Chain A
Amino acid sequence: MSKTKETFCVIDDDLIHQFIIKKMIAGIPADFEKNVLVFSNGLEAITYLKNAISNHDELPDIILLDINMPIMNGWQFLEQYKSIFPSLNKKITIYILSSSDNPHDIARVKEFKEVSGYFIKPITENELEKLMTAI
């Protein structure tokens, strides 16, 4: 059975980046419906996930997470995510998408088994397409 819908979740405080990612995702040809959820910080995103915790349809398939954000940054989001992870009704793949190439950040990702990869901005359409089809 092929999928009918794929939901992306972009967590980034940069409005231009939000616009770009939305446009890129929309531009990738696919034979299923593509949804994009956008949040400007970790708190907004974790609140949404908590509310939708058992609603399979409303949960995203892929999260693209920025690190440096106001209110709740990427690391803090991941800590919170760990606690809700067991009760999630869906397998969610998380990628870091940050403009930080600070090796401390890159190394720290390894502490979170919930994270599947680290991309440094800008992500290419090719890479994005691979993420999309890997699901």
Chain B
Amino acid sequence: MYTNLLFQSFFYLSDNFLMIIDSDGNFKKVNDKWKELGFSKEELIQTPFVNLIYPEDQAETKNFIAADEFSNTASELKNRLVSQDGDILLIKWRFLKIDSTEDIIAIGKDISDQTRQQLTYEAFTKDLKEKSKKLEDLFELSEDLIVIANADGYFKKVNPKWIEILGYSEAELLSTPFMEFIHPDDRSKTTTMVRKQMEGTTAIKFENRYQTKSGESVWLEWNATSVDQTGDIFAIARNTTAQKKQKIREQATLKEVRAKNKQLEDFAYITSHNLRAPVANIAMLTKFLEETQLSEEQEKLTKLLTDSTRILNQTLHDLIEVIQIHNKDNTKLVEVSLEKIVKEVTNQLSGEIMSSKAEITTDFSDVSIVRYSEIFLRSIFLNLISNALKYKSPDRKPVINITAKRLKNSIQLTFSDNGIGIDLEKYKNQVFGFKKTFHNNIDAKGLGLFMTKSQIEALNGTIKVSSTLEKGTKFTINLNL
């Protein structure tokens, strides 16, 4: 009686699935554990055990029970139970036949969690292996040079790129202090960098040269390195030799171009000088010739000779000015008084101003001082004022108005005249061209406006023109400040 009570207590207290089934496999008795599957005892009793088994496992379970191999000793079976909600539990069973009744007693342990953990662990290991394989592939196939070096100054591991680029075998690379592979001129800075690494700095874009087995230099750019707790350095370098060589070639080309440019400039000066000397002589000789007794025809020819010589001389002068536009001395910025510039220029042009009775008015009330290249500013004023005088209308007294206004980021200068105007329809794209003239004026050399534009643009300014034939022309200049 007591034994029976004890048995009953164990039966109900157990956290395992306990059951007694008859020899046909129907439930005779179950404990409370089964309730967790969502079935009451009443529902289960007299129904076949296999009904609760996952379909795939049913055949095996039936065979196991039929085989009746657990008459004397307990026998084990694993199968899956399906709850009323469809959950699946993996159960490890121990079966034993009670001889007297032919009933079978079985204890089932839920090993779902345990199995799941096992599966997770296996998946994790597999994943790790794959990742490791990927890393290995990256290491093996990388176009970059990857290395692990130790604190003693030796490489511990190099990827095949090292062997390909430096031409040493892996054994050679690992058995020689790595400093010996570095170009002697770069060893000291590399030592400094390695020491900084040890102190925890991360190298970014550190460059040095390695030497290949055949003695060639290879430029490496170290982009990321770090030190782990063992003192090892992990580093990745890119071979930048091609870019470096390209850069060196570019610099050499640039140097050559500069030298050529200097040569051309010198050539221009020498040519100008050598041409100017005889031109100056011709000018003077022609002048002497004018002072002698000449026939009417000779006098005419001498006059033409004088004009040609003067134009030739002026052209030589202008050519030199064009060469000098980008000369540093010319582009030096200083405080310049606009009033002073106008005074100087009108003095220079006083002959033409007097003979044409030209009136020059200015309005510098908004801006009187500008910070600009004095040489350029004087040249701009000279060219635009003499241009206005040159293209005056024969029908009216020339009036030239010059204004200066402060805009947001620039100073705007305007030069307007009441001259003959430029046919912009026809010459739109040629106004500021080199050697372009729009009138049959013997003095028009066309360099003036080209120079003016070049001088303004050399300091990032702009010049625009508007004009009406027989009314006048207006130049608008923006000087960037």
> Which A residues fall within an 8 A CB radius of B?
14, 16-17, 20, 23-24, 68, 98-103, 107, 120-122
Q: Distance (Å) between the CB of B331 and the closest chain A CB? A: 13
Interface pair B273/A68, CB less than 8 Å apart: yes
Other than the known A120-B276, A122-B281, what 10 A-B pairs have Cβ atoms closer than 8 Å? A20-B284, A20-B285, A20-B288, A99-B277, A99-B280, A100-B269, A100-B273, A102-B273, A121-B276, A121-B281
Q: Distance (Å) between the CB of A26 and the closest chain B CB? A: 11
Q: Distance (Å) between the CB of B9 and the closest chain A CB? A: 118
* Minimal Cβ-Cβ distance residue in B for A101: B320
- Given the complex of chains A and B, what is the CA–CA distance between A107 and B324 in angstroms? 14
What chain B residues lie within 8 Å of A23 (beta carbons)? Answer: 288
Interface pair B327/A122, CB less than 8 Å apart: no
Interface pair B284/A101, CB less than 8 Å apart: no
Interface string of B265-278 (1 = CB under 8 A from A): 00001001110111
5 closest A-B pairs (Cβ-Cβ)? A122-B280, A121-B280, A99-B277, A99-B276, A102-B269
What chain B residues lie within 8 Å of A101 (beta carbons)? Answer: 269, 272-273, 276, 317, 320
Interface pair A17/B320, CB less than 8 Å apart: no
What chain A residues lie within 8 Å of B227 (beta carbons)? Answer: none
Interface string of B311-350 (1 = CB under 8 A from A): 0010001001000100101000000000000000000000
Q: Distance (Å) between the CB of B369 and the closest chain A CB? A: 26
B283 on the interface (CB 8 Å rule)? Answer: yes
* Minimal Cβ-Cβ distance residue in A for B278: A16
What chain A residues lie within 8 Å of B274 (beta carbons)? Answer: 99
- Given the complex of chains A and B, what is the CA–CA distance between A103 and B274 in angstroms? 16
Among the listed B272, B284, B320, B324, which residue makes an inter-chain contact with A122, where contact means beta carbons less than 8 Å apart? B284
What chain B residues lie within 8 Å of A16 (beta carbons)? Answer: 278, 281, 285
Q: Distance (Å) between the CB of B362 and the closest chain A CB? A: 30
- Given the complex of chains A and B, what is the CA–CA distance between A17 and B281 in angstroms? 6
- Given the complex of chains A and B, what is the CA–CA distance between A98 and B320 in angstroms? 15
Q: Provide 17 A-B residue pairs closer than 8 Å at the C-beta atoms, listed in order of the A residue.
A: A16-B278, A16-B285, A17-B277, A17-B280, A20-B284, A23-B288, A68-B273, A99-B277, A99-B280, A100-B269, A100-B276, A101-B320, A102-B273, A103-B324, A103-B329, A120-B276, A122-B313
